[in-house]
Each structure stands twice: as structure tokens, then as C-alpha cells.
Amino acid sequence: MGERIDFEAIETAARHRVLAIAARAIEQRLNADISDYSGQERPCPCGATARYVDRREKRFITAVGELLLARAYYHCAACGQGVCPRDHALGMDGQSVSPAVLRMIGSVGALVSFEQGSELLRDLAGVRVDAKRVERSAEALGAEMAEDEQHQVHVAPAAEVAATMYLGMDGTGVPMRASELEGRGGKQPDGTAKTREVKLCAIWSAEGRDAQGTAVRDPGSVSYNAAIESVATSDTGSRLSPFAKRVGREALRRGFECATRRVVLGDGAPWIWKLSEEMFLGAIQIVDRFHVKQHLSEVAKAIYGTPSELGQQWAKERHAELDTGQIDAIQQALKAHVKKVPAARRCHDYLETNRQRMRYPEFHAQGLCTSSGVLEAGCRVAIGQRLKQSGMHWSEHGANAIIALRCTKLSGRFEDFWERRAARGRRGD
């Protein structure tokens, strides 16, 4: 037998040689071009005049490798800032990576940890970016996306809006750095906090039906919008809280108000219904059935302990009663335990408060979703899988940046963002 040929090694070596040749050619061409020098003075973004200093070198990471570029450097005495026109022309203002590499960082930063992202860039693209630089670039990009989200609210055309639209809200904790939690109360035994709550809004449609006639979420219809921010109204005079404004933007973007039927789903938290009544008067309010069943299962564990076949049977019976609209029967079963089991008392009050939002047989007859799993999946997929991995502790800025990056990616708006970003660069914004 002939000697085995390691084609992968040959292919990799050839690729590295080709990229190295391309990198040197680009580097030489750009360094030979001094058209970025536009005279001894040029307008500064602050409105004053920046003066030419010299040509300065900087290393940039690009998709073909590192480039050492010499660029004309101007300095403004009025604002104290320096500017290199070539950096702006190449889309690398304030960055040490090219737009193509930044886009790669955005993709991996939205999906995996910064360390894993660095490894993926090296293994799949042959681009070497250390984990810390991936972190800085991903968070800067996410912050840019968060800013973009606030200003890019294009109302969906009426023709693209489903007859029935669903808007769900939920919250989930994210582990934070100790410095971010000073003075904050929490659920730890000593009254301190380990997490901050991310508030999530999800909007989707469910025009399809399964074999039983139950509404089924339409594939690709879910969009997410989330951040660590308050649902309380600020003292700035605005009637809407920061999160309420976020929900309003997402509702406009998806055409929620244009739908024939508008449904707001939540886990029963009072802030959800308060916000719904403030913003979406007349919308149908439904407590997500999955959450109610979770409550009942927790009560069963509190009453009978775990594991317990008796507790499982009790929960199964309560679930069946919930599905068939027998709220009174559930309340009767809970009353037997409210005096001795705090969880039973809380659940009894919870059901009584939200009784009108639990008319599941009636909602089902109307073809409405009562438990799509979107909210549960949203907290897990949009937030948990990326920000709640072992050993992670976030700053508020870093968490919100990655949340914005991830929501943009999962909501199918990644390409739109890059198109707007490129257009701003062409206009010189």
C-alpha cells in the first residue's frame, strides 16, 4: 500500500500560504495609497478643526490575516480626540478588526462563550482573535445593536400581519458580578442577590392547527426583545417604563396592534397585566397554562413531598381539571391545605386573581394558544443558554449587549442590521 496522504494538512497549508500572499498584497496596496491625507486640516466630528500630525501604524485582524497599516492621523485640540480617515473608510473606526471579522465575532458571540468563540474563529475561519478581544468586540457590537434597536422601528405592512398575534412577557435571572449587586436585596438566605432579572418580550403568530385543532406556533414567526431594565415608571415624566417602551417598539415592529385579535400571555405576574392594560387595552389576557401547571406541581411537592406517587396523582388530577376549566374544583382541593401549606395558599390566591385569564376551554374553542412554550423557550434559548452557563458572571452593560446581539440574531434581524451599518458607513454617519 502507498503512503497515506494527509490531504487535510496539505489543504490547510495551501490555504495559509494563499491568505498570507493576499494579506501582504492588500497591506502593500493600502500603505502605498496616501489619499487618506487630505491636507493639514480637516473638519472634526465635534465641529472644530483637526490638524494633521503624522502617519501612524496599527495592526488590524482581517479575514485574510493581520495587516499592519499606516494611516494619516489627525488630532483635534478642542475635543482632544484623534481620527484616522482611513479607519472610517474601511469600517474599522475604534476597532482593531475588519468588518468581516467583526461580523464573525458577532455570530459566535451571540451563540457561545467568548472562549469558545475564539476557538471557533480559529478552527473554522483560520482567524486568530483571543477571547478577551472577542469579548470586547462582541459587547461593543451588541451595544451598537441595542442602540440601533431603539431607533429602527419600521411598522410591519398590514398584509404581513397575521389575523391573531400573540405577545408574551416573562422574566429570568442572570448571574451578575458582585460589584453589580451591592446594596441589592435578593432571595439568598442572607437577603442578598446573586442575579438581576432580564425582562423578555416575545411576539409570534399561530395560524396553523394540529390534528386536534389546537393552534400551533407558525415556524419562524417568533421575535425576541429583552434587557435588564425596570418595569417601574421612572420619575422623568414619561408614563411608560423602560421595558414598556421596549415592548411598544416590538409591538409596532411586528404590527401587533393591527391584528384582528391581540393576545397577551404571561405567567400571572401582576406587572405583566398592568403593562398590558396600559398599552394594549382590549387585548385578550391569558395566563400561560404551562406556568399554572408548574404552580400546581410545586404545591403537590409541598403537600406530599418528593418523590411521591400520591403527589404526582394529585397534580395530574389538578392539571386535568385546569384543562377542562374546573377552577372551582382545583380551589376546593387547595382549600384542604391552605392553613398548613403556604404554597397551597399562594396558589389558591393566584388562581383566584387570574381566574378570568384561565378560561382555557373557551380560549381553545376560539382557536387560541394557551400554552405555546414560546415564553419558556424564550427565557431558556434567548437568555439562559448563552448567559447562564457555569461560571459566568456579568456586568449590566455586558449582559445587555450580548442579549441585544442574541435577540437580533434569533429574531432574524442580523442581516438588516449589517445593511444599515454599511449604509451609515457609506454616508459617513
Would you state the pLDDT for residue 2?
58
Q: Which residue has the higher pLDDT, 165 or 7?
A: 165
Percent of all residues in the chain with a pLDDT value above 90, rounded to a whole number: 77
What digits encode the pLDDT tens for the residues 39-90? 999 999 899 999 999 999 999 999 999 999 999 999 999 999 999 999 988 9
Nearest to 406 by CA among 425, 373, 379: 379
Q: Exposed, middle or buried: residue 192 (CB in 10 Å: 0-12, 13-18, 19+)?
A: middle
Least confident of 25-39, 144-158, 288-302: 144-158
At 237, the pLDDT band (50, 70, 90 cuts) reads: low
Please tell me the predicted confidence (pLDDT) of residue 251.
96
Q: Is the pLDDT of residue 236 over 60?
A: no
Q: Spelled out in words, what is the top-level CATH class assigned to the domain 155-286+377-414?
A: alpha beta
Gap between the Cα atoms of 393 and 178, Å rounded: 8
Quick: pLDDT tens for 168-180: 999 999 999 999 9
State the burial class of residue 23 (Cβ atoms within 10 Å of its Cβ: 0-12, 13-18, 19+): middle
Residue labelled with grid coordinates 388562581: 351
Report the C-alpha gap between 271 and 428 in whole angstroms. Answer: 43
- Predicted confidence at residue 15, as pLDDT, reads 81
Q: What mean pLDDT comes out for the span 132-146? A: 96
DSSP state of 97: B
Residue 411 pLDDT grade (very low, low, confident, very high; cuts 50, 70, 90): very high
Q: Of all residues in the chain, what percent carry a pLDDT higher than 70?
A: 97
Query: Which of 264, 200, 266, 191 lies closest to 228 in space, CA to CA?
Result: 200
For range 246-254, the mean pLDDT: 96
Q: How far apart are CA 172 and CA 385, in angstroms?
A: 12
Range of weakest confidence among 3-12, 15-24, 242-251, 334-343: 3-12
> What is the model's pLDDT at position 137?
95
Output the pLDDT for position 376. 84
The mean pLDDT of 347-370, rounded to a whole number, is 95
pLDDT surpasses 70 at 405 = yes
Mean pLDDT for the stretch of residues 130-142: 96
Residue pLDDT, tens place only, 109-130: 999 999 999 999 998 888 999 9
Q: Which three cell numbers stand for residue 38?
A: 487630505
Nearest by Cα to 372 from 125, 166, 174: 166
Count of other CB atoms within 10 angstroms of residue 178: 10
Mean pLDDT of the chain: 92
pLDDT in tens, 267-284: 989 999 999 999 999 999
* Per-domain residue ranges of the chain: 7-52+65-88, 97-151, 155-286+377-414, 291-355
More confident residue, 211 or 337: 337
If you count them, how many residues does the chain have?
429
Are 145 and 139 within 8 A, CB to CB? no
The answer to whether residue 307 scores a pLDDT higher than 90 is no
In this structure, which amino acid lies at residue 105? I
Answer for the pair 227, 404: CB distance below 8 angstroms, yes or no.
yes
Predicted pLDDT at 56:
96
- 241 close to 231: Cβ distance less than 8 angstroms: yes
Q: Is the pLDDT of residue 147 over 90?
A: yes
pLDDT for the residue numbered 327: 97
pLDDT tens per residue, range 185-206: 888 888 889 999 999 999 999 9
Q: How far apart are the C-alpha atoms of 165 and 170, rounded to whole Å?
A: 17
Whether the pLDDT of residue 306 is over 90: the answer is no
* pLDDT of the residue at 239: 81
pLDDT, tens digit, 9 for 90 and up, residues 257-268: 999 999 999 998
Bond from prior residue into 361 cis (ω within 30 degrees of 0): no
Q: How far apart are the first and last CA of the chain?
A: 64
Give residues with Cβ within 8 angstroms of 340, minimum separation 6: none
